[in-house]
Amino acid sequence: MIFERGHFIYEFWVARFSLLAGLWTTVSTSFLTIVIGSALGLVLGLVLAYGIWPLRFLARFYVDVIRGIPLLVLILFAYYGLALFKISVTPYWAGVIALSAFCVSHVAETVRGAIQSVPAGQDEAAKAIGLPFLKRVRYVILPQALRRVLPPWVNTALEMVKGTTLLSVIGVVELLLASQQAIARNYLILQFYLAATLFYFIVNFAIAQLAAALERRFRRFKY
Amino acid sequence: MLNYNFNWSVIWRNWDKFVDALLLGLGMAVVSLLIGTLIGLLVAYARGAGPRWLRWPAFVYVEFIRNVPLLLLVFFVYFGLPELGIYGLDKVQSFVLTLSLYAGAYMAEVFRAGLASIPRGYAEAARAIGLRPLQRQRYVILPVMFRITLPSITNNLVSLFKDTSLAAAIAVPELTFTARQVNANTFRVMESWLTATALYLFTAYAIAIVLRLVEKRYAVIR
Amino acid sequence: MALLEARNVQKHFGSVEVLKSIDLDVEQGQVVALIGASGSGKTTFLRCINLLEQYDAGSIALDGEVVGFTSDGRRRPLSERRVSAQRARIGMVFQQFNLFPHMTAEQNVMLGLTKVQGKAKDEAATIARHWLDRVGLSERRDHYPYQLSGGQQQRVAIARAVAMSPRLMLFDEATSALDPELVAEVLAVIQDLAKSGMTMLLVSHEMLFVRDVASKVVFMDGGRIAQAGPPEEVFHHPENERLKTFLGRFHGMFGQPV
Ligand SMILES: Nc1ncnc2c1ncn2[C@@H]1O[C@H](COP(=O)(O)OP(=O)(O)O)[C@@H](O)[C@H]1O
Ligand SMILES: [Mg+2]
């Protein structure tokens, strides 16, 4: 019967609290990563586009290095490495730091590309009415750039959500590791992996579709 | 670095391991790209020109793969296939299978966009000189499409190479796994991870640079 | 003292000398037209006046104040703040309109009023409406650029520039990107501004319009001013061979042999 030991529904019910806790960790790490990564990424993107050359060079170096390293290596490096600096962080925060560092570089590159894709005439027209630099960026360039940032930004955000599964490798009990722990007890390998897979699929697919719909609505502005 | 004394001798002692690990990762990435390209082509055609009953599964395949974490897929295939009665795949094969399926979905998107971006005039001109449908694809559409999508293919190969790090999760002795092992055996944290990082960076950029040269060689004027 | 005084202005891009030595005065209330073959440096000169390009030598002064550089003889570039303030006193209309696509017509006009001049929203809106009305677009003030025709977009761009009450207006081929049937509506707006006493320096290939509206015509050739004077003089007594050839194309239009 369904409500017997060894049946998926039963085992799922038994594991419900640890799965929920895992889900919460997935949500919170994703959220923190995307917020921190986007905020710092915006700043770094501005540096890439407008910074004086030593700053721009450093930013470029950071972005290119991070984007050349696998996320998993970043996570492991942060996990083992931060301790060396006498920074004692939990695996949770080591993971969030690594994921954010990764997110920053991708957002920064996206922001830079979007800023530079705004036609030069826009900046010149803004100059011609006497807007100083910061106001040109704030009122003319960024509104147009951010519109272009949306699709790749959503993409990066989804990558981050998926990337939180890598935290399982350093022992952060997010949804994947919580599922594996359940599997370790009940051996329902296919069922629990399938459940987790479907969960990620539904959530990410929904977000992606939502973003695509938003993007289509914006498209009427033709810029 | 607060009083950290570097000792690189452990890296030299394990250098062969690192090189083997790097080559294994690179090999898995290349094989996955090749299989993924094949899958991607079939799926792109299925989605663009296939019969209705094929479009649906093609769409589901692509969207499913792209919205599910790769690590989950890796575990699913590695632990799940035996459950389904499919035995005989070792760790590496299992991982390459996963990465190929994964690459297939991404390549399908690349090719779909590539096919869509080919000006209609090409196909019409090919028809005008009397090429039959398959010949049109073989001699005109596909060569143009590959040239257009070469930059995306390059990016995908670099991504796949970095993704081979996930094979460490099922104990495939690639770079990440090796670094972790050396780290665990010698406690040389910085040396192990800096080495892995440097090798990943070097290889990722080497792939990109080499393929950019290929791109230049085959660039189409558009 | 003329409103605009350009003295020995020089500009090069790399090794190419684009402006060789430009001297030009524009008096208060005057409408000066720059004509000349493309590549002769007209756009570059206008962009130097508005500091979209830095000129390499010489000086450009508006109301006696050198634009872009300190006037203490050391010729140091001014700060971003000072440059912006100077630009705010010069209006510019571009060939490609360059309206801000994420703003309505009214918002386009209001931006400089609120963010540069610090006017309150209400006051800025009143001014914006006044000028949009003046260019015949009061009905369109809530439209986005993509909802407007090229001619309408250019009229909004003109309103955006003049709403700042500039001392000088620069027009760089304001009608060149327009379909022929839309040219007249934009020229009419410029002519209306000229009649109201606005000082203008304009580049145009519309020779009939130039003859009507300009009080002085300046013919540029190879980065120099080859001839300058009242329109009748320049059009009917061209001194320069290139100008003769240039005007030859308009022979019939003026009804007189050139
Ligand atoms: N940013 C630039 N870099 C290099 N050359 C330029 C640049 N802008 C203009 N030029 C050159 O300067 C010359 C004059 O151009 P321009 O002022 O646009 O002439 P006009 O407006 O009279 O057609 C042309 O030869 C043009 O190629
Ligand atoms: Mg020009």
Which domains does chain B carry?
9-217 (1.10.3720.10)
pLDDT for residue C253? 55
Average pLDDT for chain C: 92
CA-nearest residue for atom 16, ligand 1, is C41
- Is the CATH number of domain A2-218 3.40.1350.10? no
Residue extents of the structural domains in chain A:
2-218
Whether C and B touch, i.e. at least 3 CB pairs below 8 A, reads as no
A143/C91 Cβ within 8 A: no
Tell me the average confidence (pLDDT) per consecutive run of 10 residues in chain A, 223 residues long.
78 88 96 98 97 96 96 94 82 96 98 96 96 96 92 94 96 94 88 93 93 82 66
Measured in Å, residue C35 CA sits from the centre of ligand 1 at: 15
pLDDT for residue A186? 85
A128/C100 Cβ within 8 A: no
Does the pLDDT at position B221 exceed 60?
A: no
A68/B72 Cβ within 8 A: no
CB contacts, 8 Å: A222 with chain C: 101, 146
Q: Is residue C212 part of a domain?
A: no
Residue A215 DSSP SS3 = helix
Q: Does A126 touch chain C (CB under 8 A)?
A: yes
Confidence category of residue C258, pLDDT binned at 50, 70, 90: very low
C81/A128 Cβ within 8 A: no
Q: Answer for the pair C161, A128: CB distance below 8 angstroms, yes or no.
A: yes
CB contacts, 8 Å: A131 with chain C: 84, 111-112, 115-116
Q: Is residue C179 part of a domain?
A: no
C100/A125 Cβ within 8 A: yes
From the CB of C54, is ligand 1 less than 6 Å away?
A: no
CA-nearest residue for atom 2, ligand 1, is C13
pTM for this prediction = 0.87
pLDDT for residue A5? 79
| Best probe residue, ligand 1, of C18, C56, C220 (max atoms within 8 Å of C-beta) | C18
C53 Cα nearest atom in ligand 1: 1
Q: Is residue C61 part of a domain?
A: no
Query: Domain span at residue C104?
Result: 96-165
Task: Collect residues with CB below 5 Å from ion ligand 2.
Answer: C 43
A80/B193 Cβ within 8 A: yes
Q: Which of A124, A147, A220 sits opposite C98 (nearest CB)?
A: A124
- pLDDT tens column, C69-122: 988 778 899 998 999 999 999 999 999 999 999 999 999 999 999 999 999 999
- pLDDT tens column, B114-144: 999 988 888 888 888 888 888 888 888 999 8
pLDDT for residue C73? 75
Q: Which of A122, A124, A129 sits opposite C116 (nearest CB)?
A: A129
Please give the span between the terminal C-alpha atoms of chain A, in angstroms, as a whole number: 59
pLDDT for residue C162? 96
Residue C212: other Cβ atoms inside 10 A: 13
Residue ranges of chain A whose CB lies within 8 Å of a chain B CB? 65, 68-73, 76-77, 80-81, 83-86, 158, 162-163, 165-166, 168-169, 176, 180, 183, 189-190, 193-194, 196-197, 200-201, 204-205, 208
pLDDT for residue A1? 62
Structure tokens at C136: 């015949």
pLDDT for residue C213? 93
Q: Is residue C138 part of a domain?
A: yes
Q: Is residue C161 part of a domain?
A: yes
B4/A76 Cβ within 8 A: no
Confidence category of residue C248, pLDDT binned at 50, 70, 90: confident
Does the pLDDT at position B1 exceed 80?
A: no
d(CA A100, CA A96): 6
d(CA C84, CA C66): 14
Residue A138 carries which DSSP code? I
CB contacts, 8 Å: C160 with chain A: 129
Residue with tokens 């990558």: A159
Domains in chain C, number? 1
Nearest residue of chain A to residue B83 (CA atoms):
A190
